[in-house]
């Protein structure tokens, strides 16, 4: 009997329909010589330490790090999943021919290989079905083109590395920090990817918290309804600006030079999962997790291709299918397709249709496991979020084959009584793809950037349409002095956080540069949404409308972590890149795991050991060197040189614990003794006047009105992920 293992029941039903397996059994479908069964996501998982040896039920620094010689598997805790696992494992062992049809990617490969391993037939020969669409034609073609499972051994190695590395780092770091700093019943959950993401948000929140808003003055004027700005730097002091204002008041403005150029802006690239999640969050407020769920539902309804992709291109063999799909989309939006037809009809002979942008859309070198997310051509009645996601993907697909947006950009230089001014205007001569672009969400006044130096404008000078100007003309103008304040960076939203995760925390606006950084991001397109939801569930983050803010619990966790291995976005991005290199056969699984093990051993040995009580407190507020614990006080390691920083172990009669000192150094604030519930406590005052209790926060200490998450027991959480 030939056995097919799918990842989900809905996919199994689609495969069975094509294969003619219509007889229903408990956990599988059968017919025409085929048995089609399914997993329910992950059916097995790595064992916990106490399942290797009961002595590990008690969390102790003496037993860390724990790294098994060989990782072993067990069924997940879900009872129905356990029953399905028995069915799938039995069919795999008895199959005459075995086909892996789990999702075509790293996690799908891991699900199938773990099942084989658990069933005791890890070396079982099989073929691999590689699907990017669930249409009948795509399934038939995939079965005809399936390859030996051994062709995907590198993918399997990368998947195992990811799973084992998350277990090693998450479990050992979680136990180490919980044992060391887990007072008041707090379980500190750490992970290879989630903790660097938390650190990114904590850093941004700190930048906002300590931001020092500074006033500035800017000289502006209006001439023939055009907005001009002073061509020099903005003024940090008002008097010099007032001098220039008086100099140009009642003086004519003369146009001295006009610079004109034509810009051609190509269509945006097709969607990968991350960009789709970003746009849906920006336009409709959908969370990354919800966007993924909706896209997956549309995939299973055969309306979209596979969503968990990091590619934004199509393969060259898709040119003809794309023509067919574009034709079918007339039933979705006849007006949009009429726009495309007009463009194609006006293109030079030989450049009409999808081939017109071969390298920007069709590029085999930029298609990895899956091509970009596009419609399949099937149209269905949708509504709500499903319609929003489908419309976004279909519209982007059509835009990719439209012409460039062409615009004339004019920069006008002017002078008034020796004071230079400049204005910029844009006139769109051919909207091209942008005529189908959805309207951007309205921006609030003065919220244009993240650099802490916003202009606080009352209009967008970059896109104004200038009147017809000529060099040498002169006339009256109305100058004014605009006063504003620099603004702090904006808090992360899911849109901007996904962009930061994609580039390991680096702010990169250029689309092509982001593409170059793609392999060195935090997590993968398929896992970023779940990482974010994990941080929210564990109450390390909270949502403030669209903004993501770190909670006191999350801030305290970052404060006690000294080792950059656990919170460096770039380091974790390098690990993710190495996993990609393993997939491509250019890096070895053994070396990757050895590096992870060496780092976690060093973390436990030097950063957490009771023999090194004096390490890891934080940075000296005077010279940024390490702060250590002495016999009578905490002080800078450079005390023998030139740094006199010293903090007594008792502040006004109240003893300071190491955790409190960490928090103090992390925030860089002043101490103040207070009485809370009749007991003396120490709090710190921030630069904004906020009083913060230095007692380590309990897990139940949530924001007002929020429901506290369920308390976790130490023996049940691995912290992996």
Q: What is the pLDDT of residues 536-579, one digit of tens each?
A: 999 999 999 899 999 988 888 888 887 777 888 777 777 888 88
What confidence score (pLDDT) does residue 35 get? Answer: 96
Residue (of 460, 463, 458, 459) closest to 410 by Cα position: 463
Please choose, from the candidates 140, 200, 159, the residue with its C-alpha nearest in 3D space to the C-alpha of residue 521. 200
Q: Provide the Cα torsion 330, 332, 335, 341; round to 10°.
A: -30
Q: Is pLDDT of 702 > 50?
A: no
Q: What is the pLDDT of residue 449?
A: 43
Per-residue pLDDT reduced to its tens digit, 651-663: 767 777 777 777 6
Q: Measure the CA–CA gap between 148 and 364, rounded to whole angstroms.
A: 22
Residue 399 CB neighbours (<10 A): 21
| pLDDT, averaged across the chain | 83
Q: pLDDT (tens digit, 9 = 90+) per residue, 496-543?
A: 999 888 877 665 455 554 454 556 678 888 889 999 999 999 999 999
Report the pLDDT value the prediction gives residue 676, as an integer from 0 to 100: 58
From CA 540, how far away is CA 128, in angstroms rounded? 40
Tokens of 99: 């086909």
> How far, in Å, CA of 347 to CA of 339, rounded?
13
Please answer whether residues 53 and 20 qualify as being in contact, where contact means their C-beta atoms are separated by less than 8 angstroms. no
State the Rg of the chain over Cα: 30
The two three-digit tokens of residue 404, written as one number: 């460039």
Q: Is the pLDDT of residue 607 over 90?
A: no
Average the pLDDT over 203-219 and give the result: 90
pLDDT attached to residue 706: 39
What confidence score (pLDDT) does residue 609 get? 36
Mean pLDDT of 364-389: 90
How many beta carbons lie within 10 A of that of residue 200, not counting itself? 22
The pLDDT of residue 104 is 85
Question: Residue 469: which pLDDT band, with cuts at 50, 70 and 90?
Answer: very high
Choosing from 118, 306, 343, 492, the catalytic residue is 306
- Residue 421 DSSP class: E
pLDDT digits (tens, 9 = 90+) for 213-258: 899 999 999 999 999 999 999 999 999 999 999 999 999 999 999 9
Return the pLDDT at 356. 52
Whether 113 has a pLDDT exceeding 50, the answer reads yes
Is 174:189 a contact under the CB 8 Å cutoff? yes
Nearest-angstrom CA–CA distance, 304 and 451: 37
Q: What is the pLDDT of residue 446?
A: 42
Contact 258, 470 (CB under 8 A): yes
Cis peptide before 65 (omega within 30 of 0): yes
CA distance 410 to 471: 12
- What string of DSSP letters covers 6-66? ESSHHHHHHHHHHHT--EEETTEEEETTEEEEE--S--EEEPPHHHH-GGGGS--GGG-S-
pLDDT digit string, tens, across residues 420-468? 999 999 999 999 999 998 876 655 444 444 444 444 444 456 678 899 9
* Tens digit of each residue's pLDDT (9 = 90 or more) over 616-648: 577 777 776 778 777 778 888 777 677 778 888
Q: Which is higher by pLDDT, 34 or 630?
A: 34
> Percentage of the chain surpassing pLDDT 90?
51
What is the average pLDDT across 267-295? 94
**Residue 540 annotated to the active site:** no
Whether residue 31 contacts residue 20, with contact meaning beta carbons closer than 8 Å, is answered with yes
Domains of the chain: 2-145 (3.40.50.140), 154-211+491-612 (1.10.460.10), 215-266+405-485 (2.70.20.10), 285-399 (1.10.290.10), 613-709 (no CATH)
Q: What's the confidence (pLDDT) of residue 366?
A: 85
Is residue 148 pLDDT above 90, yes or no?
A: yes
Distance CA 107, CA 296 (A): 15
Summarize the confidence of residues 292-307 as an average pLDDT: 94
- The pLDDT assigned to 149 comes to 95
């Amino acid at each position: 009997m030939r056995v097919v293992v799918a990842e989900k029941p809905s996919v199994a039903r689609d495969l069975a329909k094509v294969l003619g397996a219509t007889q229903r059994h408990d956990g599988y479908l059968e017919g025409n010589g085929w048995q089609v069964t399914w997993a329910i996501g992950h059916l097995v998982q790595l064992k916990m330490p106490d399942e290797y040896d009961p002595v590990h039920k008690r969390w102790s620094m003496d037993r860390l790090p724990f790294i098994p010689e060989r990782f072993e598997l067990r069924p997940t805790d879900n009872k129905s999943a356990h029953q399905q696992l028995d069915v799938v494992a039995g069919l795999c062992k008895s199959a005459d021919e075995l086909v892996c049809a789990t999702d075509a990617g790293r996690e799908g490969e891991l699900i199938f290989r773990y099942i084989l391993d658990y069933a005791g037939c890890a070396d079982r020969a099989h073929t691999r079905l590689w699907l990017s669409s669930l249409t009948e034609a795509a399934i038939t073609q995939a079965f005809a083109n399936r390859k030996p499972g051994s062709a995907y051994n590198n993918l399997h190695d990368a998947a195992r590395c990811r799973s084992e590395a998350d277990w090693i780092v998450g479990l050992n770091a979680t136990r180490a920090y919980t044992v060391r700093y887990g007072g008041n019943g707090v379980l500190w959950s750490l992970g290879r990817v989630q903790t660097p993401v938390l650190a990114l948000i904590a850093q941004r929140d700190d930048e906002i918290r300590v931001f020092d808003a500074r006033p500035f003055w800017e000289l502006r004027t209006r001439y023939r309804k055009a907005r001009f700005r002073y061509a020099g730097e903005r003024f940090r002091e008002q008097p010099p600006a007032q001098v220039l204002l008086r100099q140009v008041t009642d003086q004519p403005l003369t146009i001295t030079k006009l610079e004109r150029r034509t810009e051609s802006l190509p269509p945006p690239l097709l969607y990968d999962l991350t960009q789709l999640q970003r746009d849906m969050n920006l336009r409709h407020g959908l969370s990354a997790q919800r966007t993924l769920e909706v896209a997956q539902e549309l995939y299973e309804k055969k309306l979209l291709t596979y969503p968990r992709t990091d590619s934004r291109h199509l393969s060259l063999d898709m040119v003809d299918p794309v023509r067919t799909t574009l034709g079918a989309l007339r039933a979705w939006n006849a007006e949009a397709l009429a726009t495309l037809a007009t463009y194609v009809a006006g293109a030079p002979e030989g450049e009409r249709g999808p081939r017109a942008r071969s390298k920007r859309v069709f590029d085999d070198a930029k298609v990895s496991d899956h091509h970009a997310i596009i419609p399949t051509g099937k149209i269905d009645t949708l509504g709500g979020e499903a319609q929003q996601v489908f419309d976004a993907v279909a519209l982007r697909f059509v835009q990719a084959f439209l012409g460039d947006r062409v615009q004339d950009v004019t920069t006008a230089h002017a002078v008034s009584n020796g004071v230079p001014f400049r204005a910029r205007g844009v006139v769109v001569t051919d909207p091209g793809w942008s005529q189908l672009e959805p309207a951007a969400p309205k921006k609030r006044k003065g919220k244009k950037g993240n650099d802490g130096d916003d202009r606080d404008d009352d209009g967008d000078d970059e896109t104004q349409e200038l009147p017809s100007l000529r060099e040498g003309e002169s006339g009256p103008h109305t100058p004014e002095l605009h006063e504003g304040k620099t603004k702090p960076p904006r808090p992360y939203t899911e849109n901007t956080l996904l962009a930061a995760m994609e580039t390991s925390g680096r702010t990169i606006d250029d689309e092509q540069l982001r593409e170059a950084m793609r392999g060195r991001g935090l997590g993968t397109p398929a896992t970023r949404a779940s990482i974010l939801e994990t941080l929210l569930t564990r109450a390390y983050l909270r949502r403030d409308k669209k903004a993501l803010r770190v909670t006191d619990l999350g801030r305290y966790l970052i404060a006690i972590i000294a080792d950059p291995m656990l919170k460096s976005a770039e380091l974790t991005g390098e690990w993710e890149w190495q996993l990609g290199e393993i997939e491509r056969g250019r890096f070895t699984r053994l070396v990757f795991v050895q590096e992870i093990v060496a780092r976690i051993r060093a973390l436990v040995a030097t950063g957490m050991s009771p023999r090194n009580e004096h390490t890891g407190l934080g940075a000296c507020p005077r010279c940024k060197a390490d702060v250590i614990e002495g016999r009578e006080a905490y002080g800078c390691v450079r005390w023998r040189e030139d740094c006199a920083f010293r903090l007594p172990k008792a502040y006004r009669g109240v003893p300071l614990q190491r955790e409190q000192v960490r928090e103090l150094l992390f925030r860089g604030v002043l101490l103040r003794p207070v009485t809370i519930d009749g007991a003396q406590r120490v709090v710190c005052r921030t630069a904004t006047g906020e009083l913060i209790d230095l007692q380590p926060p309990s897990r139940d200490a949530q924001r007002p009105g929020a429901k506290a998450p369920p308390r976790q027991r130490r023996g049940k959480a691995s912290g992996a992920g």
